[in-house]
Amino acid sequence: MREFLADHRERTVPVVLYCATSGLLPFVRSLLLFLCLYGCFLVLSWLLTRSRAVVAVSVLVTCGVTGIYSALLIALSANSMETVLSKYVCMGLSLSMIFCTGVIVFLDLPTFEISRIAKFVFRADLPVCAVLSGFRCVPVIFSASQDALLALRLRGLHRKGLLSVTLFLENVTINFLEFIADFGLQVSRLDLRALAHGATYASWTHVWSYVYVVLAVAGVVL
């Protein structure tokens, strides 16, 4: 246990260095990082497929989901607009990243690059809310899908054609929405301002993440 805690202490970066890399408002940083990553996804999907359709679908799905999701959260939220921007829009953006990734994966593209980017983005803990919601949701969708398939199979419904597809989609969608509702609640209760100012959960990977993002964007552009 002590090693576990000591390990956390060692990973904590000096406050000066942390502040130097997190001087912008959480929302602006979230937005910039999102735009960088989203740009990477789009360019990557274009390079891999040379298909305008893929890029177009990615853009449409992303914009649609982001808009609906953010509007829904803003409508349901009793918090101030600043809080909404710094918390929930990030979640909307990150959720849209999932769909964007999903479109690319669904089209059977190589996922190595995507998973590599995803990995360091997650470890970057920036923007914490967006990244966490994004990459926590992916395993939940997979897990919900697996459970729904299992439930269908165990009850012999998997051979029922359209009925099985309908039941599967309904089950996964409802479970995912329920999860998002509960999960959003927990995330909204985190003290993100403290997180963003390095009071908690700061690590060396956070600093390195900026370097990675810059290199990734530069690499794609060049």
Partner 1 sequence: MLSCAIQSIRYGPRVVLENLSFTLRKGGFLLVTGDNASGKTTLLSFVAGVLAGDTQVRIDGRCDFPAGWSDSNIAFLSQNPEANLVGSDVRSEIFLHGGQRLARIEQTLNVLRFPAVLLGRKVKDLSGGQQQLLAIVSALVRDSALCVLDEPTAMLDAQNTGLVVDAVSRLLDVGTTVIVSSHNASFWQDIPGRRLHLTRLGTHSLAPAPEPNLGLSPDPMKGNGSAHRLDVRRLWYAYRRQQPTIRNLSCCVSGGDILHVSGRNGCGKTTLAKLLAGVLRPSEGRIRLDGMRIQEIRGYRPHFCGLTLQNPNSQILFPTVSKELAYCASLPSPDKEFDPHVYASDTCLRLGISDQADPRSLSFAQRKLISSLSYLNMPVLHILDEPAASLSDPLSDHLLRFIKIRQKLGLITVVISHGSDLLRSIRTKEVSLDP
**Site residues, partner 1 (CB under 8 A):** 1-2, 4-5, 8-9, 78, 122, 125, 128, 132, 135-136, 139-140, 143-144, 147-148, 150-157, 167, 170-171, 174-175, 178-179, 182-183, 185-191, 194-195, 199-201
Q: Smaller CB distance to partner 1: residue 154 or 222?
A: 154
The nearest distance, CB 113 to partner 1, in angstroms, is 20
The nearest distance, CB 57 to partner 1, in angstroms, is 27
The nearest distance, CB 43 to partner 1, in angstroms, is 26
Q: Smaller CB distance to partner 1: residue 120 or 183?
A: 183
Neighbours of 165 (CB within 10 A): 12
- Who's near 161: CB < 8 A, 6+ residues apart? none
The nearest distance, CB 111 to partner 1, in angstroms, is 17
The nearest distance, CB 149 to partner 1, in angstroms, is 10
Q: How far apart are CA 101 and CA 96, in angstroms?
A: 8
Token look-up 């967006």 returns: 130
Q: Smaller CB distance to partner 1: residue 12 or 49?
A: 12
Helix axes 89-106, 112-123, angle to 10 degrees: 160
Q: Smaller CB distance to partner 1: residue 26 or 57?
A: 26
Helices and strands per DSSP (H, E), number in the chain? 11, 0
Q: Smaller CB distance to partner 1: residue 20 or 178?
A: 178
- Who's near 194: CB < 8 A, 6+ residues apart? 200
**Upper half-sphere CA count for residue 112 (Cβ side, 13 Å):** 2
- Who's near 191: CB < 8 A, 6+ residues apart? 199, 200
